[in-house]
Structure 1
Amino acid sequence: MPDDALGDDDVTALVARLRRREVSAAELRAAVAGRLATVDPVLHGLGLDRTDAPVVGNPEGPLAGVPTLVKENTDVAGWPTTNGSAAYVPAPARAHAAVTQQLLGAGLDLVGTSRMPEFGLNATTEFVDVEPTRNPVDPAFSAGASSGGAAALVAAGAVPLAHANDGGESIRIPAAACGLVGLKPSRGALAPSAHGAMMPIDLVADGVVTRTVRDTALVLSAMTGRPRVEGPGRRLRVGVMLHSPAGGEVDADTRAAVERSAAVLDAAGHVVEPHRPAVGKGFVDDFLVYWGLLAFSVAAGGRTAFGRSFDRSRLDPLTRGLARHFLTTGPRRPGFLRRLRRVAYRAEFTHHDVLLSPVLAHRTPELGWLHPAVPFEELRERLVRYVGFTPLQNVAGAPAVAVPAGRDGRGLPVGVQLAGLPGDEARLLEVAYELEATRVPQRCALR
């Protein structure tokens, strides 16, 4: 990257420079425009470019003047909301979403949208007939999903942070794939999601992806009014979970990253012990039916939700496959919603304050491995194994944060997850600071 107003600063440092008037909001937006022009022709993470006509946030907000992107499933008045889908022609949104209002209230300037897979249903930002979003560390690999465009462009240094949201994995997976910090807050910690409000079980939490723990702590404070978490806290009981409810093996590099992180916390004085999940394969099967129900709802109700232009035949093969899975499997799992609502999440914390686990069972895959056109049965099994550690917190409405934990043998980022009980965001960030302090920062290939 050429020298510009963004420099190598994170959000916290940029806010300080803005307050000292060493840089202006206009200069930051110009720097973002220049960087997007450099990296996005390779990464394809940008949806709508509004760097020349941003929606400017509250000039008195704690993040005033900092530019960001909004995920393309979130309404910004006057901008089309695509949901990553080619199945309909989006009209301009009539009003801001509640979380958009929060972002603007915190002072952030909205300079465009970031890409996502269709309706956020996949764990990679890939499409049937257009370019995928690529990982800036190695463009042959996935940037994760569903907030894949957000993570790719933050990791590449094009924007200092980006809005993201998470209905099963969608903040934490791309954060882990791209070497970022990604906090999924507790249900209700931020403004309620319109998407979540329509679900039988509200899975959706909004947040951001950032390059540092202190940035995530700053944004959480700016958007909620809570005190900012500024460093490590008290010693805790940490359970280390290397077996997901989905079963299957964790790859060697991921296991090593979790074990290194556990050793860091042990050396810092925490009580670190093995943990086996109380929930098992039944939870995974119930969640998969619910995942299918969400896809079926899109297919069946698309014209009502998105207008007359909606054409279900243009939905991608994964969305259609999930909808069929619900129709064929749902009747064989009566009570799946009741069981999910009653999942015994608190039982996971009988002996531990925080759970440490992988974010993903294996490193981010090469593009194509999770492509939506992979035969559905095969793709479903790949996805279940890959994302087995993340959906539990969405069902329970609990927080979890992805924290960078080094690189694998090919130089790709590996992330670990810290999970807690509802309301435990501060505790998780305190532990995340300790893990971050031992990490050697590494630049991505395009920065």
Structure 2
Amino acid sequence: MTTFEERTTVHAFGDDALGEHDAVGLAGAVRRGEVSAAEVARDAAARVRAVEARLNAVQVHIDDPAPEPGAGGALAGVPTFVKDNTDFLGLPTGHGSAAFTPRGARRHAPFTRQFLSSGVTVLGKTRLPEFGFSPTTEFEAAEPVRNPWNTGFSAGGSSGGSAALVAAGAVPVAHANDGGGSIRIPAACCGLVGLKPTRGRVVPNAQSRQLPVDIVSDGVLSRSVRDTAAFLAAAETYWRNPKLPPLGLVEGPAKRRLRVGLLIDSPNGVRTDDATRAAVTDTAVALERLGHTVHPVELAIDPRFTDDFLTYWGMLSFLLGITGRSFGPDFDRRRMDGLSRGLREAYLRNWRRTPGVLRRLKRTTAGYAAAFRGLDVVLTPVLAHTTPPIGHLGPAVPYPTLIERILAYVAFTPVNNVVGNPSLSLPAASGTEDGLPIGVMFSGRPGSERTLLELAFELEADRPFRRIQDL
């Protein structure tokens, strides 16, 4: 255990154009003329330089960042980053992989265009583990992304680079996406708000829309509930899915009291550790004090779900291995990291199970919906245990040990990706003995982002999130 005196905390908060503003506050200051977008971009770039040597969060810097020509939007002037698995015109898209040399993108990805429509100023791209497979942002032959709350620990994954920069105060928000927990896991590790939207709430993800089960949703990581709400409202003004209820701008809690289901141990049999269990239980007590009704719930999920999701995960690695030249002519699957290779090899041993795996994964929606009869949201941990130290989940760990560790850690988030419902990670009131944040997770019915955000506003007001600059 690391003592408080030994911990290494990194943040960039200071007396500059960004101050201690969140994205909504900063955009307001720009609109009022208190600071200019150019000043904000300059000072944000300086903040990034101040922390980057210790966090290793940035993949690509833009030398002279500027808003899109004529950019307006609710977040106009807010500096941010795009995750390096999403195309940004002119910048290479590396997907965190050493298996190929990335080329400059010929156009913005559809989500990039939607993100830019909010008025943000992109400063560059953030690092992720290879193809987003890992719940930690670590590499075989490069420095890991480190957690700004304690640099000896993981920042989570796969959106670990984005999480580290937001948590450290370098930028107020950053792009993230989630195919098995990759928004919610780094949010939990870094004390942030991380909402995986309903499938189809934002424009379809360019990488996963052609897959038999579309598991990836794009969003942001933020330090305040209102920033996440503002992003979703801005995204909706660019494009709204007519199959989902309109969201609009959520600005605070609702008066309606909710029926909350409580699930502390994972349906896959993984027992939650004591610190995380205490954080979730404490949140449930707070909800009851606020007038909500909380009672235990069970999820009727096929007992083969974990194995099925792992097979699907392996199928993705296999497909990347055989289609990799689309990333670059020098793609060599032998240079993929240990986790990617292990997933692919495991899939090749079990590929005949694929039709049954796909049928069962698609049926998960009905079983999950049954848990919501009589409920509005379900409260669970984000992860089965607290944030691990650097190296525990690194891709150099032998695959049998590594996958066992991952399954004992990522025990709650993947079901939301298969079902496609919204799921939100919030910082719990308590942290670990090492001073690290712990996340709790609220999941709702498809299209119920408003309910989740209203509840998050209420909890944030009742128990303000811990701030790294106060340590």
Cα offset for 1:353? Answer: 1.2
Partner of 1:417: 441
Q: Following superposition of structure 1 onto structure 2, how do residues 19-418 of structure 1 map, counting pairs within 5 Å?
A: 19-54=31-66, 56=68, 58-225=70-237, 226-233=247-254, 234-303=256-325, 305-332=326-353, 334-343=355-364, 344-405=367-428, 406-418=430-442
Check conservation: 1:137, 1:446, Cα contact below 8 A.
Answer: no
CA contact under 8 A between 1:246 and 1:385: conserved in structure 2? Answer: no
Paired amino acid for 2:280:
V
Q: Do the aligned partners of residues 446 and 75 (structure 1) sit closer, same or farther apart at CA in structure 2, a change above 3 Å counting?
A: farther
In 2, the alpha carbon distance for the partners of 1:8 and 1:55 equals 21
Give, in angstroms, the shift of residue 159 of structure 1: 0.7
Look up the match of 2:452.
428
Separation in 1, partners of 2:26, 2:67: 19
Amino acid at match of 1:18: V
> Cα distance, 1:333 vs. partner?
6.3
Between stretches 241-250 and 167-176, larger displacement belongs to 241-250
Residue 445 of structure 1 and its aligned partner are, at CA, apart by 6.7
Partner Cα separation in structure 1 for residue 355 and residue 105 of structure 2:
38
Counterpart residue type for residue 53 of structure 2: P
Q: Tell me the CA shift for residue 446 of structure 1.
A: 10
- Are the counterparts in 2 of residues 58 and 108 from structure 1 also a CA contact under 8 Å? no
CA distance in 1, matches of 2:357, 2:437: 35
- Separation (CA, whole Å) in 2 of partners of 1:161 and 1:60: 17
Q: Name the stretch that deviates more: 220-229 or 358-367.
A: 220-229
Distance 1:231 1:55 in 2: 29
* Contact 2:24–2:230 (Cα < 8 Å) also in 1: yes
User: How many aligned positions are there?
Assistant: 446
Q: Deviation per CA, 1:403-437, whole angstroms, max 9, x where unpaired?
A: 00031122110000000111010101111112212
| 1:271 CA drift (Å) | 1.1
Aligned AA (2:139): F
> Offset at 1:301?
1.3
Query: Which ranges of structure 1 fall in alignment gaps of 5 or more residues?
Result: none
Give CA deviations for 1:64-120 in whole Å, capped at 9, x if unaligned: 111110000000111100001010111111110011001111111111001000000
**Secondary structure, counterpart of 1:374 in structure 2:** coil
Shift of 1:441: 3.8
Structure 2 counterpart SS, 1:106: coil
> How far apart, in 1, do the equivalents of 2:69 and 2:425 lie?
27
Question: Is the partner of 1:31 in helix, strand or coil?
Answer: helix
2:38–2:66 Cα contact (<8 Å) kept: no
Letter in 2 for 1:388: A
Query: Which shifted more, 431-440 or 192-201?
Result: 431-440
Percent identity between matched residues is 52
Question: Deviations along 1:233-270, whole A, 9 cap, x unmatched?
Answer: 21111001112122121111111111111111111111
Show structure 2 runs of 5+ residues with no match. Answer: 1-12, 238-246
The 2-side partners of 1:84 and 1:446 are apart by: 32
TM-score (norm 1): 0.97
User: Structure 1: which amino acid aligns with 2:412?
Assistant: F
